Amino acid sequence: MKQPLRNLTIQNKLLVVVVFSMMVILLVNIFLFANVNDIVKRLDDIYVSNVNLNDLSDALGSVQTSMTQYLNTKTSDAMESYYKDTKTFGTLLEMLNDRPTSNEPKLMEKNIRRMSYSYLRLTNQAIEAKRGRNVEKYNRYYEDATELYHYIASYIYSLNNKQFKTNSDSYEVLSFSLRYLEIVSSAVLVLVALGNTFLIILVTRNITNPLKALVEVANEVGEGNFNIELPDVSTNDEVGVVSKAFNKMVISMRSYIDRIKQNMKTERALKEKELMMENHLKDAQLKYLQAQISPHFLFNTLNAGAQLAMMEEADRTYEYIQKAAELFRYNMKKNNEIVTLREEMELVDNYIYILNVRFSGEIHYEKSVESGVADKLDRIMLPGMILQPIVENSVNHGIRDISWKGLITLHVYEKEEHICIEMKDNGIGIRPEILNKIMTGTLKEEDLSKASNGIGLDNVTSRLRLFCDREDVFEIFSEGEGKGTTVRIYLPGYGRCD
């Protein structure tokens, strides 16, 4: 029974159990009702024989009475009732047994029947004799009939008694059977009810157990534990379908997670590789630049040139070579050091001077320091080589190819507890898309390194951000093409002035 049940849906399972239970109870009830009916029918039948015999006895008495009445009065009424009674009696006699048998009551019936026919013959003869006014004969027939009447009455009485006794015994047995049936039926109903309850428990457990298992596993999965044993699905009902779907879902989630992990691993490895490559490249560029010229040699050469210019009294040449030598010295010395703002500003002065010598004083430079800040310039610290690359950018990309007079202004002021260094040019400005690339750091380096001395804006912003340990330390904006470019550096507090 269990195997076919597994393939049924919950609805059909419940239907089967309920129908089965109802059928069993129905059958038991039908059985009980049939038996009760049977007993009641038997009880009804028991005394039928007595009732019949009483009818027979009454009919016999009526015949005797009406015959006597006719013999007494000779009225046609008496005659009529005699014939009527004879007919009734004859009909009842037809129902009696007429065969020799070992069954005592049946044999008595036979004797009663035969004697009754003799009796009716005698009564008829008595009536006939009365009609024929044969007094002697009708008296004799009457006496014989009366004697026989007594015998028959006695026979009927005896048979009635006998049957009543038998019927009473039967009644007793049936009555006992009825009581017994009551007990048996109660017991059977209780047993069937218990059996049904048990069956329903079995079937519902068959339904709920897989659900419980599923809930348990779902809870585990909900807590993030995918490495669990999946519930074994053996049924094909709704719960079985849900369990199978759940198992499938857990399995595909597992494989999806594995795949993501694998992808992340691969991506990380690729990034590492890329970073390393960039590092190596930088390293190579640096080494290349360093290899180009020995700074000390260059510095000594320039110093020798300055002394030569001084001896020849060429003052402007001496000054120029002197400033160029300072620039290189600074560059060589402070490239990776923390410097004061004043030093940085002096470097910008030197750089502008050299450029103006180179470009015949084309670049106008204006410098202003807010009065409150001027005396702090020696205490405001920042990474070296920050301002010079910005000025270099302004010259190279801003004012080199313009038709009007190029102007670069440097303004240092204090704003909301920040030291703000603002560098402004009136060059060609920057297109918004390029500006955006610079701000997000996605501008390719090769775009910038063509004409620079190697230190790009990206480098400047990176170092500033690291130095100040915050992001909003540098901003660059341009109002459009031909409108110049402004760069602002915010040093929190006094930078690292303390």
Partner 1 sequence: MILCFCLILLSFLVILSSVIYYRRQILQSTQLIENYENEHFDKHYVMITSDSKSLFWQNVYHGARSRAAEYNAYLELLGTNLDVEYDETELLKIAIESQVDGIVVEASDDEQMVALIDKATGTGIPVVTVLDDSRNSTRQSFVGISSYNAGHEYGSQICEILEKDAAEKDRYQVIVLMGEENYDASQNLVYSGIQESVEEEYKGKASVEIKTSLISQKSAFAAEEVVRDIFLSEEQSPDIVVCLDEMYTTCAYQAAIDYNKVGKINILGYYQSDVILGGIAGNVVYSTLTVDAGRMGENCIDALWEYNKTGYVSDYIAVETVLINADNIADYIGGEERETAPSQSDDTK
Question: Which residues are at the interface with partner 1 (CB under 8 A)?
Answer: 35, 38-39, 42, 45-46, 99-108, 110-111, 114-115, 118-119, 147-148, 151, 154-155, 157-158, 161-162, 166-167, 169-170, 173-174, 176-177, 180-181, 184, 187-188, 191, 194-195, 198, 202
- Structure-token pair, residue 139: 């008296």
Nearer to partner 1, 154 or 290 (CB): 154
Would you say how long the chain is, in residues?
A: 498
For the bound state, the minimum distance from the C-beta of residue 214 to partner 1, rounded and expressed in Å, comes to 23
For the bound state, the minimum distance from the C-beta of residue 51 to partner 1, rounded and expressed in Å, comes to 14
For the bound state, the minimum distance from the C-beta of residue 225 to partner 1, rounded and expressed in Å, comes to 33
Nearer to partner 1, 184 or 251 (CB): 184
Nearer to partner 1, 177 or 247 (CB): 177
Please give the Cα distance from 46 to 185 (Å, whole number): 24
Ordered alpha helix ranges (H), 339-477: 341-358, 371-374, 387-393, 432-440, 446-449, 457-468
Nearer to partner 1, 44 or 471 (CB): 44
- The answer to whether 403 and 357 are in contact (CB under 8 A) is no
- The answer to whether 95 and 52 are in contact (CB under 8 A) is yes
Nearer to partner 1, 27 or 466 (CB): 27
For the bound state, the minimum distance from the C-beta of residue 194 to partner 1, rounded and expressed in Å, comes to 8
Burial of 434 (0-12, 13-18, 19+ CB in 10 A): middle
Nearer to partner 1, 108 or 347 (CB): 108
- Name residue, tokens 């020798």: 304
For the bound state, the minimum distance from the C-beta of residue 57 to partner 1, rounded and expressed in Å, comes to 13
Strand boundaries in 308-405, DSSP class E: 338-340, 363-369, 381-383
Nearer to partner 1, 169 or 472 (CB): 169
Question: Which is it for the CA torsion 349, 355, 356, 357, positive or negative?
Answer: positive
- The answer to whether 131 and 112 are in contact (CB under 8 A) is no
- The answer to whether 115 and 106 are in contact (CB under 8 A) is no
For the bound state, the minimum distance from the C-beta of residue 173 to partner 1, rounded and expressed in Å, comes to 4
Radius of gyration for the alpha carbons in the chain, expressed in angstroms and rounded: 68
For the bound state, the minimum distance from the C-beta of residue 151 to partner 1, rounded and expressed in Å, comes to 5
For the bound state, the minimum distance from the C-beta of residue 192 to partner 1, rounded and expressed in Å, comes to 8
Secondary structure element (H or E) that encloses residue 420, with its range: strand 418-425
CA atoms within 13 A on the CB side of 288: 8
- The answer to whether 363 and 406 are in contact (CB under 8 A) is yes
- Beta-carbon contacts of residue 359 (< 8 Å; ≥ 6 apart): none
For the bound state, the minimum distance from the C-beta of residue 18 to partner 1, rounded and expressed in Å, comes to 18
The per-residue DSSP string of 459-476 comes to: HHHHHHHHHHTSSTTEEE
Nearer to partner 1, 62 or 118 (CB): 118
Nearer to partner 1, 110 or 244 (CB): 110
> Phi then psi for 277, rounded to 5 degrees?
-65, -45
